[in-house]
Chains A and B, each alone.
Chain A
Amino acid sequence: MNTPNELKYAASHEWLAADGTVGISDFAQDQLGDVVYVELPEVGREVKAGETVAVVESVKTASDIYAPATGTITAVNGELSGTPELVNSGPYEGGWLFRMDVTKEGDLMDAGAYASANN
């Protein structure tokens, strides 16, 4: 499992980068299996940490994605509408979900704590 040190992680498997980019962890994409559809939030939406903001659907199931922080959605990854499998192939790169202007982070873990929680 790849767990980059520079990111913070929610217990619900979202990662948050310093610039406000959000995605799901390598562990989460592996558990979900083949991602076939991603539903992303509207740009400009104000969200609270822990609120459902997106849905990632694999062949088998739909999984809610929760905001790792309170703030405003500033961008979404439009590439995912045509190639949702980017979430599988590059969960920390091309498979990012959205960016947000963070006003307050939720309850997040560092990479070491997240990795040991999911071993």
Chain B
Amino acid sequence: MVPFGGWDMPVQYAGVKAEHDAVRSRAGVFDVSHMGEFRVTGEGALAFLQSVTTNDVSKLRPGRAHYNWLPGVAGGLVDDIYVYMVREGEYLLVVNASNVAKDWAHLQAHAAGFDVQLSDESDRWSLLAVQGPLAENLLQPHVSVNLAEKKKNAFFPARLFGFDVMLARTGYTGEDGFEVFVDASEAETVWDKLLAIGITPAGLGARDTLRLEAGLPLYGHEFSDTIHPLSSSYTWVVKDKAHVGREHIDLAPPHRLIGLRLERVPVREGYPVKVGGQVVGHVTSGTSSPTLGHPIALALVDAAHAGADVFEVEVRGKDHSATRMELPFYKR
């Protein structure tokens, strides 16, 4: 167990590789109850969300969700979030655990003038992420709705093992799966029942290797209050509308987020990335890819050098050759 965002989090149960492989080949479940949940309601909910996010919330329909950003007032991101539309004038935001207090203050500060109520429901909900190619088949006998009819980003109420939950066909592993919003008082029972039907418990370690293989950015590593979010390739998250911090988003990003492959030595956050011996950036996340069998990394490099195919990464004073790889490293 490790402390993370005020929670004690399991890094691994049986081992990172075994848990990672279970999610890629069958199904695993992550306890991500540390994520924060905010409910946004009122006549002005849509207008408010349009003003504080980059994606177009008006495109959502009840029962649909999308990935979105909270841009800052001084460049960078306050957070990257998921927005779930419950019904007209009611949305649920899922935010990163480490950013709950910061996001709450930011949203409160920008809510003035909108007919909107915000409630922090982070303590009410536990969130269990069931991920993997067998997620649908394993869950279906225990769920009150036909999961096959629910496409990616669907968000719907259901009964699971007899408990009232909200299910979303979303996740953070590059695999199909469902996130289960369950009342915190019922989470332990639901968790035990998920394990009993053959779903493998998976910890933070596997969550990180899976999201890295999928090329998915993690706040605090690839995103921050100061990193220009368009350093990443997620330009589609920014739609043509006015919002907080728009003037910063419209500036050209000075860095680019790239994928690197190494042959042997794993590289970690902060290691210098070079071209021809000159430092042009640094690793933001790195691991040894269990699926691919070699080390992979995300790195932020100067835009001027981002087109290079070959880099070096300095590991304990010695440079190791790294080749650029298209993201995601792994695609289902």
Segment among A9-17, A30-38, A107-115 that sits at the interface with chain B: A30-38
Identify which of B205, B208, B266, B295 gathers the most chain A CB atoms within 10 Å of its CB: B266
Contacts of B268 in A (CB 8 A): 61-62
Q: Are B265 and A39 in touch, CB under 8 angstroms?
A: yes
Q: Are B12 and A62 in touch, CB under 8 angstroms?
A: no
Contacts of A55 in B (CB 8 A): 316
Q: Are A59 and B316 in touch, CB under 8 angstroms?
A: no
Q: Are B16 and A57 in touch, CB under 8 angstroms?
A: no
Roughly how many angstroms separate A33 CA and B15 CA in the complex, as a whole number? 6
The answer, yes or no, to whether B284 is at the interface (CB within 8 Å) is no
Contacts of B266 in A (CB 8 A): 36-37, 57, 59, 62
A34 touching B15 in the complex, CB below 8 Å, given contacts A39-B265, A39-B316, A62-B268: yes
Contacts of A81 in B (CB 8 A): 264
Contact with A along B275-318 (1 / 0, CB 8 A): 00000000000011010000100000000000000000000100
Contact with B along A42-68 (1 / 0, CB 8 A): 000000000000010111111000000
> Which residue of chain A lies nearest to B262 when distances are taken between CB atoms in the complex?
A37
Q: Closest CB of chain A to B19's CB: distance in Å?
A: 10
> Which residue of chain A lies nearest to B293 when distances are taken between CB atoms in the complex?
A36
Roughly how many angstroms separate A36 CA and B288 CA in the complex, as a whole number? 7
Q: Are A59 and B205 in touch, CB under 8 angstroms?
A: yes
Roughly how many angstroms separate A37 CA and B268 CA in the complex, as a whole number? 13
The answer, yes or no, to whether B231 is at the interface (CB within 8 Å) is no
The answer, yes or no, to whether B209 is at the interface (CB within 8 Å) is yes
Q: Closest CB of chain B to A92's CB: distance in Å?
A: 20
Contact partner of B16 among A39, A59, A62, CB < 8 A? A59
> Which residue of chain B lies nearest to A62 when distances are taken between CB atoms in the complex?
B268
Q: Are A59 and B264 in touch, CB under 8 angstroms?
A: no
Roughly how many angstroms separate A37 CA and B295 CA in the complex, as a whole number? 10
Roughly how many angstroms separate A7 CA and B209 CA in the complex, as a whole number? 35
Q: Are B288 and A33 in touch, CB under 8 angstroms?
A: no
Q: Are B264 and A60 in touch, CB under 8 angstroms?
A: no
Q: Closest CB of chain B to A98's CB: distance in Å?
A: 17
Contact partner of A37 among B12, B16, B288, CB < 8 A? B288
Q: Are A59 and B265 in touch, CB under 8 angstroms?
A: no
Contacts of A34 in B (CB 8 A): 15-17, 290
Contacts of A37 in B (CB 8 A): 264-266, 288, 295
Q: Closest CB of chain A to B260's CB: distance in Å?
A: 16
Roughly how many angstroms separate A59 CA and B287 CA in the complex, as a whole number? 6
Within 8 A of A (CB), among B218-249: none
Contacts of A36 in B (CB 8 A): 266, 288, 295
The answer, yes or no, to whether B165 is at the interface (CB within 8 Å) is no
Q: Are A59 and B290 in touch, CB under 8 angstroms?
A: yes
Knowing that A34-B16, A39-B316, A59-B17 are A-B contacts, what are 10 other residue pairs whose CB atoms are under 8 Å apart, sorted by A's residue number?
A33-B11, A33-B205, A34-B15, A37-B288, A57-B288, A59-B16, A59-B266, A59-B287, A60-B16, A60-B208
Can you give 16 contacting A-B residue pairs, CB < 8 Å?
Answer: A33-B205, A34-B15, A34-B17, A34-B290, A36-B266, A36-B288, A36-B295, A37-B264, A37-B266, A37-B288, A59-B205, A59-B209, A59-B266, A59-B287, A59-B288, A62-B266
